[in-house]
Amino acid sequence: MCVEKPYECNQCGKAFARSSYLKCHKRTHTGEKPYECNVCGKAFTVASNLQYHKRTHTGEKPYECNQCGKSFTVARNLQYHKRTHTGEKPYECNQCGKTFTASSNLKYHKRTHTGEKPYECNQCGKAFAVQCNLKRHKRTHTGEKPYKCNQCGKAFTASSNLKYHKRTHATH
């Protein structure tokens, strides 16, 4: 089944099935983020992303895995998670054959072949293939350390560093 996508972005050529989708997409080029969280001020290009974000404040995770009980704020993340149980990896790289549970992971992986790094630091020029890596990098300039250990108070720039640090408490 092929979905017709008559609405095309005049900046990057990406096409959409609905004009409303194109309108939201154009915000990725303009940087416009009209939907702002009333708790922390973080802004979003799409209203649904603001709704998902608000769950980080409320702790609401309405989508639960019926196999292991793990819960998620977004249904799509539950869908990807379920593939850890089934082993399903439907997205395959046509260059090396590596497979992925999510199409976005395949998209990022393909950049290892092309060398594409579209996310550039506006302070030092260092470029990244994935936006979250740029976000983490920017903390080296700002000094922000948003991940804090609830046992000793030590703070980290990346959640993975906090996770690794927590192991030091488990051994004592």
- Asked if 110 and 123 sit in the same domain, the reply is no
> In the listed set 98, 114, 130, which residue is the last one of a domain according to the structure?
114
Identify the sign of the CA torsion 25, 28, 51, 79.
Answer: positive
- Asked if 67 and 107 sit in the same domain, the reply is yes
Q: Report pLDDT digits (tens) over 82-112.
A: 999 999 999 999 999 999 998 989 999 999 9
For the residues 137-159, what does the mean pLDDT come to?
A: 90
Residues of the domain holding 41? 7-58
CATH of the domain at 13: 3.30.160.60
Q: pTM for this structure?
A: 0.61
Reduced to 3 states (helix: H, G, I; strand: E, B; else coil), residue 127 is strand
Look at the chain and report how many structural domains it folds into. Answer: 3
Q: Count Cβ atoms below 10 Å from residue 104 Cβ, excluding itself.
A: 13
- Asked if 103 and 90 sit in the same domain, the reply is yes
**Two tokens at 153?**
């108070």
> In the listed set 58, 83, 98, which residue is the last one of a domain according to the structure?
58
